[in-house]
Amino acid sequence: MTLPSTTEADAATLMQNAPDSRPAPGTKQRVLSGMQPSADSLHLGNYLGALVNWVRMQEEYDAVFFIPDLHAITVPQDPAELAHRTRVTAAQYIAGGVDVDKCTLFVQSQVPEHAQLAWVLNCITGFGEASRMTQFKDKSLRHGSDQASVGLFTYPILQAADILLYQPQGVPVGEDQRQHVELSRDLAIRFNSRFGETFTVPEPFIQKESAKIYDLQNPVGKMSKSAESPNGLINLLDDPKITAKRIKSAVTDAETEIRFDRENKPGVSNLLTIYSGISGLPVEKIVADYEGKMYGHLKVDLAELVTEHLAPIRERAHEFLADPAELDKLLAHGADKAREIASATLRDVYARVGFLPYAGTQGSL
Ligand code: TRP
């Protein structure tokens, strides 16, 4: 006897009772993003490049933000440090303006559907396709191919699962993540054509180049915690004295004129970008205000602007860290909200690939 192959119609009957994970038509569009818990503090590049944007987006969009701790362990992590960094990152998101009542904020490992969908997507991704991911190539070169884990290799597929579970229309990320969002699109299209319409095909919302923050000591390289000297870095949680000192000793150039010229005056241009990002003023206005003034003036004012802006964020983050139980409760609530969407998508996916519905008593799948 030959069994009939599963058709889209069978799958549809199997999932008759599955709630739809897509945002209802006419409601807000959904966006999703995450930032790795890879340091003890976010830096100004994370803040102005991503977080400020997230805070803005939660007003207009149905926003989903998360901390990808599953991604973090694709390279070796100290367990206590990972747990600490996950909380520190969450605390800074909230202190920086992410409002858990307006958006969904959660920790990836608390939503098991990410790992579950990643497995299914692993099985429709070509080995060659995964091998072409440039971030894997860079990172594995850095760690040596014997040290690089298989998890690092499948990192972009887990990222595709993060995205596709929530059916977002947009994924706000930096240019370095474009290739991963493209892979998510390819996998969504492939799955939909093999198994029937399941996933929303997401668009990358790429952060503006003009919002990019550079290292204060090496203003042609982006601000990064792995820079050679910590003096080029502004951390949200640093002591304001350190922050002020680093801004005042930022590398500029041998001229005296304050103007925006990324090519020839990367240091001054970076200070202007930071000034604009924090104050909300357009760069042209700042340049006009500083006409005839010296670099020192700009630095002194910027140091004050930045430290005053960051002070309440730093304070609030420390309050959360002093009461981790409260923070953990907010995150658990976020995970519950996230699971409502994620489990609906996963149930749909499982039915479509031909997995039997679970009829036991152990909760969800
Ligand atoms: N790979 C992203 C980064 O390093 C983090 C990330 C994981 C992410 N999953 C995601 C970003 C899903 C956007 C959507 O920045």
Q: Quick one: 328 exposed, middle or buried, by C-beta within 10 A (0-12, 13-18, 19+)?
A: middle
What pLDDT shows up at residue 246?
98
User: Would residue 137 show up in a list of annotated catalytic residues for this protein?
Assistant: no
Q: Is the CB of 171 under 6 A from ligand 1?
A: yes
pLDDT of residue 19: 57
Angle CA 167–170–172, to nearest 5: 130
Tokens (6 digits) for 191:
């799955």
164: number of Cβ within 10 Å: 28
Which residues in 67-77 are b (16+ Cβ under 10 Å) and which e? Answer: bbbbbbebbee
CB count in 10 Å sphere of residue 165 = 27
Active-site residue flag, 222: yes
| Contact predicate 66/106, CB 8 Å | yes
* pLDDT on residue 228: 85
Cα 162 to ligand 1 centre (Å): 8
- CA dihedral sign, ordered 207, 211, 217, 218: positive
| CA distances, 185 to each of 28, 170, 347 (Å) | 21, 11, 20
- Which residue in 139, 212, 248, 337 is the catalytic one? 139
Q: Residues 105, 224, 272, CA angle at the centre, nearest 5°?
A: 95
Q: Atom of ligand 1 at shortest distance to CA of 71?
A: 7
Q: Which residues of the chain have pLDDT under 50?
A: 1-18
Does ligand 1 lie within 6 Å of residue 71's CB atom? yes
Nearest CA to ligand 1 atom 9: 159
258 CA to centre of ligand 1 in angstroms:
36
Per-residue pLDDT, 364: 63
Helices (H), the chain: 8-14, 44-46, 52-60, 69-72, 79-95, 113-122, 127-131, 134-143, 150-164, 178-195, 240-248, 266-279, 283-289, 295-322, 324-353
Determine the residue of 109, 180, 185, 212 to mutate for testing ligand 1's pocket, defined as the one with the most ligand atoms within 8 A of the Cβ atom.
180
How far is the centre of ligand 1, averaged over its atoms, from the C-alpha of 68 (Å)?
7
- Rounded-to-integer distance, Cα 180 and Cα 171, Å: 10
Residue owning tokens 């920086």 = 96
If we measure between CA atoms, which residue out of 45, 67, 46, 65 comes closest to residue 57?
65
50 lines ligand 1 (CB under 6 A): no
Q: Is the CB of 114 within 6 Å of ligand 1?
A: no
- Please identify which of the residues 212, 222, 248, 337 carries the catalytic annotation: 222
The count of other CB atoms within 10 Å of the CB of residue 217 is: 19
Phi-psi region of 100 (alpha: psi -120 to 50; beta: other; left: phi over 0): alpha
Ligand 1 pocket member 34 (CB < 6 A): yes
Kindly report, residue by residue over 161-202, the tens digit of the pLDDT.
999 999 999 999 999 999 999 999 999 999 999 999 999 999
pLDDT in tens, 298-340: 999 999 999 999 999 999 999 999 999 999 999 999 999 999 9
Respond yes or no: is residue 225 known to be catalytic. yes
Distance 188 CA to ligand 1 centre (A): 17
Q: What is the pLDDT of residue 187?
A: 98
Ligand 1 center–CA 54 separation, angstroms: 14
Q: What is the pLDDT of residue 12?
A: 44
The protein residue whose alpha carbon is closest to atom 15 in ligand 1 is 35
Q: Nearest residue CA, atom 14 of ligand 1?
A: 33
Give the nearest ligand 1 atom to 158 CA. Answer: 9
Residue with the two structure tokens 């694709």:
74
